[in-house]
Amino acid sequence: MTVTSTARRSAALLLALGSMANAQSVFKLDTDDEIRASARTLAYDTMLYYHGNETGQTPGILPGPPPGGDYYWWEGGALWGTMLDYWHYTGDSSYNSVISQALLFQVGEGVDYQPRNHTASLGNDDQGFWGMSAMLAAELNFPNPPSDQPQWLALAQAVWNTQAAPDRHDETCGGGMRWQIPLSNNGYNYKNTIANGCFFNLGARLARYTGNSTYMKYAEETWDWLVNIGYIADNWDIYDGAHVESNCTDINKAQFSYNAAVLLQGMAYLYDFTDGSQRAMWKTRIDGLLARTLEVFFPDNIAYEVSCEPGLTCTTDMYSFKGYVHRWLTNLVQLVPDTADKIKPVLKTSAQAAVNQCVGGDSQRACGFSWKSGKFDGKMGAGQQMNVLAAVSTLLVDSAKGPLTASSGGTSKGDVNAGSNSPYQREHAPITTGDRAGAGILTVIVLAAATGTFGWMSWER
Ligand SMILES: *[C@@H]1O[C@H](CO)[C@@H](O)[C@H](O)[C@H]1NC(C)=O
Ligand SMILES: *[C@@H]1O[C@H](CO)[C@@H](O)[C@H](O)[C@H]1NC(C)=O
Ligand SMILES: *[C@@H]1O[C@H](CO)[C@@H](O)[C@H](O)[C@H]1NC(C)=O
Ligand SMILES: *[C@@H]1O[C@H](CO)[C@@H](O)[C@H](O)[C@H]1NC(C)=O
């Protein structure tokens, strides 16, 4: 080997090392201080996508909905849940006033998270995501709004009340809720797991928080329906949904991680709320669904969106799912202690993989979505940032309190009648005899319209 070629080789090596150094993540997770510092930067980068508190912008929402911007209304609700958890796990209250303003601005005319501005994409799941964030605010004892403003618990109850109303549970498919709320929306003919899963989740949490078992009764009914209709399969696969025209037999078997996670989180609350044989029953179900969830969505112990990630077909919505899974599985660690040993090592490995690929963008620390590949995939966005923020902040679970209840320190004020001024409640009031002829014609029109969109899937909004 000549001196020249050695020199050339070292130069090449230095170059290679240089580019490796560039691809080195700035986020460290080895100590709690490093985790807090990483989460702080991730929260900052996430909030760069939010402009709602700037002059002339609408508080609460991410830029959108399409085509005006990338994000549907619901993802704003999901962002605030992520930021509430960020505050809770890290103790950084810098964003609390922004979070509060956002959650209060979007309550809508009926104070039940069905704002008129967003009826065109208003699904029960969309409303549910905002409701679950309000519920989280109550459970975390997030500072209560002034008394002349809506309160967190009452907002969660308003969402639940509007969804528990008979008009949301028609007879097609033997019950269950439809995906969309307004009957003119695309997707009104689809009954899916996420819409019903959010209702299940909220009911479970309201039961535990308030001690009122009526909420649990509805959650159990929803669970039974999901099992009977076949969306929760015997092997614990969780399917997406089906159409009312087939009486929900044309099941779309695509599996999305947030469907499994929204059910697991709700189950954890019911496990904590119940005792005796009921508690044992929920534990058996939790063990079954948890094992399958880790198997399907965490190959190599790294979060993976199996229905869209391999084919690069994930939508903006889907780009945010991994964060919910990390956050909601962390609630299992808190409420079902026996699951901690199974969950924590997986979430830790997954979070490390998540930060490893956050080396993109001008900042060289933007996150993509392909955690398992170990490489930044160029797909930046609010969801991708929220995912990693969630994965990192929840690593602090051991030093954070679990969700509170009204009897363990939760101070949010409720209202069992909240949501009774809902515009949709009036529009779709339970059918009386006098309405039946009209309702029949409506059904024919809806069915005719629905046939045109038959085969259309829940993620193609
Ligand atoms: C909006 O919120 C961000 C935090 O995300 C903050 O830095 C900024 O000052 C706020 N802007 C206004 C106009 O309040
Ligand atoms: C509804 O949209 C209008 C027009 O963009 C906006 O001014 C208003 O603040 C929005 N209201 C809500 C609750 O988002
Ligand atoms: C529709 O599905 C429900 C639930 O599986 C079932 O109880 C009902 O009998 C079915 N109706 C028809 C007409 O097949
Ligand atoms: C329990 O919740 C149900 C459903 O909202 C409500 O009708 C009932 O009044 C509540 N019971 C109590 C004691 O608050």
Q: Which regions of the chain are under pLDDT 70? A: 1-22, 423-461
173 lines ligand 3 (CB under 6 A): yes
> In angstroms, what is the span from residue 174 Cα to ligand 3's centroid?
6
* Pairing status of strand 190-192 against strand 241-243: antiparallel
Measured in Å, residue 61 CA sits from the centre of ligand 2 at: 10
306 lines ligand 4 (CB under 6 A): no
Answer yes or no: is the C-beta of 420 below 6 A from any ligand 4 atom. no
pTM: 0.90
Q: Is 171 in the pocket of ligand 1 (CB under 6 A)?
A: no
Helix (H) or strand (E) holding 243: strand 241-243
Cβ atoms of 424 and 114 closer than 8 Å: yes
Indicate if ligand 1 lies below 6 Å from the C-beta of 159: no
Q: What's residue 23's pLDDT?
A: 78
What three-state secondary structure class fits 241? strand
Residue type at position 16: A
Domains of the chain by residue range: 32-416
Residue 115 Cβ inside 6 Å of ligand 2? The answer reads yes
Residues 6+ apart with CB under 8 A from 237: 253, 255, 292, 296
User: Is the CATH number of domain 32-416 1.10.150.530?
Assistant: no
pLDDT of residue 452: 34
Ligand 2 centroid distance, CA of 117 (Å) = 6
The per-residue DSSP string of 71-124 comes to --HHHHHHHHHHHHHHHHHH---TTHHHHHHHHHHTSTTTTSS--GGGGGG-BH
Q: Which is the closest atom of ligand 4 to the Cα of 416? A: 5
